[in-house]
Amino acid sequence: MSSLIQLRMFRCHECGHKMRLSGEACGRCHAIKPRYQGVIYRLVLLTPVILVGVIGILVLSLV
Ligand SMILES: [Zn+2]
């Protein structure tokens, strides 16, 4: 899980520094992240949980 958190997929809108997915601000200039980046981060974390839940329900309904 730590590798996912260390993944840098955003650039700072102020200085262009590659930002971590986690955290609230740029590591270089400390500009606060745009709100949507935090939302994407939560979606990335939640997607596997949701997928497992949906697959589990489907399997149970088929048996
Ligand atoms: Zn920055």
How remote is the CA of residue 1 from the centroid of ligand 1, in Å?
25
Domain edges within the chain:
2-62
pLDDT digits (tens, 9 = 90+) for 5-39: 455 667 888 898 888 777 778 889 988 877 766 67
DSSP string, 2-62: HHHHH---EE-TTT-PEEPSSSSB-TTT-PBPPHHHHHHHHHHHHHHHHHHHHHHHHHHHH
How remote is the CA of residue 19 from the centroid of ligand 1, in Å?
8
pLDDT of the residue at 55 = 96
Q: pTM to 2 decimals?
A: 0.43
The pocket of ion ligand 1, defined by CB under 5 A, consists of: 12, 14-15, 17, 26, 28-29, 31
pLDDT digits (tens, 9 = 90+) for 32-58: 877 766 677 788 889 999 999 999 999
How remote is the CA of residue 59 from the centroid of ligand 1, in Å?
46
